[in-house]
């Protein structure tokens, strides 16, 4: 899958981290950029299956994790 520079704008509160892709799978990690209301840095990872809790450090922050309880 080609990525074209400037085709997408950068996320406002995250930096785009590691992105991997094969013919059948992909993964994208986002890292919280700047202040996050005292929660510190964390990552959120997505794959072709959706949210990847095994590779996301936001799991350690249930107050801001929309997938947590």
**pLDDT, tens digit (0-9, with 9 covering 90-100), for 6-40:** 667 778 888 888 889 999 999 999 998 766 677 77
Structure tokens at 13: 């509160």
Q: Residue 34 to residues 1, 7, 47: CA-CA distances in angstroms?
A: 30, 24, 24
Structure tokens at 22: 């094969």
Query: Which pLDDT band holds residue 46 (cuts at 50, 70, 90)?
Result: very high
27: in domain: yes
With vertex at residue 25, the alpha carbon angle to CA 50 and CA 67, rounded to the nearest 5 degrees, is 15
How far apart, in whole angstroms, are the C-alpha atoms of residue 6 and residue 36? 26
Domain count, the chain: 1
Question: Cβ distance 40 to 31 under 8 Å?
Answer: no
20: in domain: yes
The whole domain housing 25 covers 14-60
């Amino acid at each position: 899958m080609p990525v074209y520079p400037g085709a997408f704008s950068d996320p406002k509160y995250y930096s785009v981290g590691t992105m991997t892709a094969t013919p059948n799978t992909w993964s994208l990690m986002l890292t919280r950029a700047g202040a996050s209301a005292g929660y510190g840095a964390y990552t959120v990872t997505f794959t072709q299956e959706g949210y990847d809790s095994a590779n996301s450090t936001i799991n350690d922050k249930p107050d801001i994790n929309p997938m947590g309880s």
